[in-house]
Amino acid sequence: MKKIAVFASGNGSNFEALAAACADGRIDARIALLVCDKPGAYVLQRADRFGIPAFVFRPKEYASKADYERQIVERLQAEGVEWIFLAGYMRILSEVMLEAYRDRIVNIHPSLLPAFKGAHAIADAFAYGVKVYGVTIHYVNGELDGGKIIAQRAFDYTGDDLDELEAKVHAVEHPLYVETAARLMKESR
Ligand code: GAR
């Protein structure tokens, strides 16, 4: 069974969706490590409940991004991690990580890329007044929300309630991430 790592910075609902699907066999993989750049993030409690170990770090305590990424790569390799899934990890990766896991890093983003990149995609799209929203899963490169698209799912929303819209986006994200991760694990056997 493949070992994967999930990187997350916050709430961790996508982490939980992946963890539950690994636990019950929908994804043929095991989450060997959660990597989190925010001590105190709620995702750490979720990892605890699943018995998944976490590598928690404070970026400010390192001289550079390359420094902390080297340490993360060391830990990932020690754990035998083969794939990385970003799930609300709000940092751009450097060449250190990209080289170590070339074409094996995947991200989920809450818009139909290339529209609305960045950390506030749902609110930005809502403020723009778009009527078709969606979610993108893509390979990761060194650009913000850049890289080859793997899967997208769109839905109509013409309401005026941002909280409702956010809930709808998350409800699309979770099954799409699980299905896509399951497919990638199957195909990379
Ligand atoms: C998700 O909506 C994910 O798509 C987004 O952060 C949220 C994390 O939620 N990622 C990005 O915006 C990446 N640019 P979660 O912590 O509940 O999984």
Tens digit of each residue's pLDDT (9 = 90 or more) over 85-109: 999 999 999 999 999 999 999 999 9
User: Which spans in 2-120 are helix H?
Assistant: 13-23, 42-50, 65-79, 95-100
Torsion of CA 14, 15, 21, 22, to 10 degrees: 150
Q: Ligand 1 pocket test: pick from 7, 14, 44 the residue with the most ligand atoms within 8 Å of its Cβ.
A: 14
Q: How many domains does the chain have?
A: 1
Q: Which of ligand 1's atoms lies nearest the C-alpha of 109?
A: 4
Domain that holds residue 31: 2-187
Residues 52, 20, 168, 141: is their CA dihedral positive or negative? positive
Q: What CATH number is associated with residue 119? A: 3.40.50.170
CA gap 175, 108 in Å, rounded: 12
Residues in the chain: 189
Does 1 show up as a binding residue in the annotation? no
Instruction: Encode pLDDT of 118-158 as tens digits.
Output: 999 999 999 999 999 999 999 999 899 999 999 999 999 99
Residues 98, 60, 121, 187: is their CA dihedral positive or negative? positive
Q: Is 138 considered catalytic here?
A: no
Q: Which of ligand 1's atoms lies nearest the C-alpha of 13?
A: 17
